[in-house]
Amino acid sequence: KTKVLTGITTTGIPHLGNYVGAIKPAIEESWRDDIQSYYFMADYHAMVKGRDPKRIHESGMHNAATWLALGLDTDRATFYRQSDIPEIMELNWILSCMTAKGLMNRAHAYKAAVQQNVADEQNDPDFGITMGLFSYPVLMAADILIFNAHKVPVGQDQVQHLEMARDIAKRMNHNYKTRFVLPEAVVGEETAILNGLDGRKMSKSYDNTIPLFVPEKKLLKLIRKIKTNSLEPGEPKDPSTCTLLQIFSAFANEEEVLAKKAQYEAGAGWGDLKNELFEYVNDKLKGPRERYNELLQDPAFIEAELRKGAEKARAEAAPFLQQVRQAVGIKGFV
Ligand code: TYM
C-alpha cells in the first residue's frame, strides 16, 4: 500500500491554508483502500516557534479536534501526537548524525531568521537562533522516514523540507544498509499557496489567517476583509489570482467553480462575491464546526483517540527503529 503522511505544527488554531494545503487532501486520501495514512500533531516542532506551554498543549487539542470534526476515520488512518512516539526523537538523532550542516544552512526558515538579523551565534536563545530552529528539517525527516511514507501532502512552503528529507534518506541508504523510502511532496496545483486577508501567504506568523472554525459572524467579517482590487461591479475580473475563488474552490466541485469563474468574467461585484462565498463556505462548515466545538468540550475523548493512534504508530515504529539501530551499529546485535 502507498503510505501517505502529513503533520501540522501545534502553534495555533488551524486555518484555511492548513485545510486547503494539507488537511483536506489528507482526509480524502485516507478514504482510499490502496492507501495507508498517518496524520499527526507536530508538537515538538511547535517548541521551535513559541515558548508558551499552554498554547502548545491547547493547540494540539484544537488541531486534533479539527481532524476529527472533519470526519477523519481513526480506524483507517493512524492519528497521533508526535511526542507520543519516542521512536521519532531517537531516529531524529540518528539522522542528525548523517545530515550535513551545510544542507541545513540552506533551509528557508533558518535563512529567513538570519535575514531578519537574528544573530546566528548569539549565546542566548531569546536573541539567537536555537539549534531547534536550525535542525527543524531533520526532525521533519524523522517524522516521515520512521514510517517510510511515500507521499506527503503539503503546501508549497514545505517542499524544500521534503527535498531535505529525501536527501537525508539517500545519505542513510548510501552509508548504511538501510532502505528508507524516498518521500515525495504532493502539492495541489491550485492550493499550493492559499493567500490570507492581506494577499500574502496565509500564515500564523503574518496574522492574516481565517481560522477554519471561527463563529459564523466572525467568518463573515473576515471574508469581507479579504483584500481585492478596485474593479467596480460590471467590470470583468480575473478569477485566476483571486483569494476568494481559491477559497471557494477548496469547498466546491468543478462544475461550481466553472460557474463561479463565469460570474467573475461577467463582472460580478466584490461585495456580492464575498457574501456568496460566505454563504457557501459557511453552509459546508456548519456541521463540522458544531462537532468541533463539542469535541473541545470532551478532551478525554480526544486523548483516547490519540492514545489509540500512538499505540498503532508505535507498533510499527518500534520494530523499524530496531532495524535502523542495528544498521548503524547500535544495540540489537546478537
Ligand atoms: P504548518 O503547521 O506550518 O502547516 C501545516 C500544513 O499546512 C500547509 N499550509 C498551507 N498550504 C497552503 N496555503 C497556505 N497559506 C498554507 N499555510 C500552511 C503547510 O504547507 C503544511 O502542509 N513543518 C510542518 C509540519 C510538519 C510536517 C512534518 C509536515 C512537521 N513534520 C512531516 C509534513 C510531514 C509545518 O510547520 O506545517
205 inside domain = no
173 and 223: one domain? Answer: no
CATH code at position 258: 1.10.240.10
176 Cα to the center of ligand 1, angstroms = 30
250 and 159: one domain? Answer: no
Closest CA to 23 of 56, 68, 76, 84: 68
237 inside domain = yes
pLDDT in tens, the chain (334 residues): 999 999 999 999 999 999 999 999 999 999 999 999 999 999 999 999 888 999 999 999 999 999 999 999 999 999 999 999 999 999 999 999 999 999 999 999 899 888 887 777 777 887 788 999 999 999 999 999 999 999 999 999 999 999 999 999 999 999 999 999 999 999 988 778 999 999 999 998 899 999 999 999 999 999 999 999 889 999 999 998 899 999 999 999 999 999 999 999 999 999 999 999 999 999 999 999 999 999 999 999 999 999 999 999 999 999 999 999 999 999 865 4
Query: Residue 334: its pLDDT value, please?
Result: 47
**Rounded distance between C-alpha atoms, residue 245 and residue 236, angstroms:** 14
Which atom of ligand 1 lies at the shortest distance from residue 136's CA?
23
144 and 272: one domain? Answer: no
326 Cα to the center of ligand 1, angstroms = 32
Q: Is 162 exposed, middle or buried (0-12, 13-18, 19+ CB in 10 A)?
A: buried
DSSP state string for 176-218: SS------EEE--TTTSS-B-TTSSBP-GGGT---BTT--HHH
333 inside domain = no
162 and 67: one domain? Answer: yes
CATH code at position 113: 3.40.50.620
ipTM of the complex: 0.99
105 and 34: one domain? Answer: yes
**Rounded distance between C-alpha atoms, residue 96 and residue 64, angstroms:** 29
Query: Residue 128: its pLDDT value, please?
Result: 81
Query: Residue 333: its pLDDT value, please?
Result: 59
User: Within 6 Å (CB) of ligand 1, which residues are found?
Assistant: 5-9, 17-18, 20-22, 42, 45, 140, 143-144, 152, 154-155, 157-158, 191, 193-194, 201-203
Which atom of ligand 1 lies at the shortest distance from residue 154's CA?
22
Q: Which residue has the cell 477548496?
A: 250
The number of distinct structural domains making up the chain is: 2
What lies within 8 Å, CB to CB, of 179 at 6+ separation is 173
pTM of the model: 0.95
179 inside domain = yes
DSSP secondary structure letter of residue 19: I
68 inside domain = yes
What three-state secondary structure class fits 151? strand
26 inside domain = yes
Question: Alpha-carbon torsion 63, 290, 38, 321, what sign?
Answer: positive
**Which residue range(s) make up the domain with 248?**
213-294
68 and 141: one domain? Answer: yes
DSSP state string for 33-71: TTEEEEEEEEHHHHHHH---HHHHHHHHHHHHHHHHHTT
107 and 240: one domain? Answer: no
207 inside domain = no
235 and 287: one domain? Answer: yes
Which atom of ligand 1 lies at the shortest distance from residue 194's CA?
13
Closest CA to 244 of 216, 218, 215, 275: 275
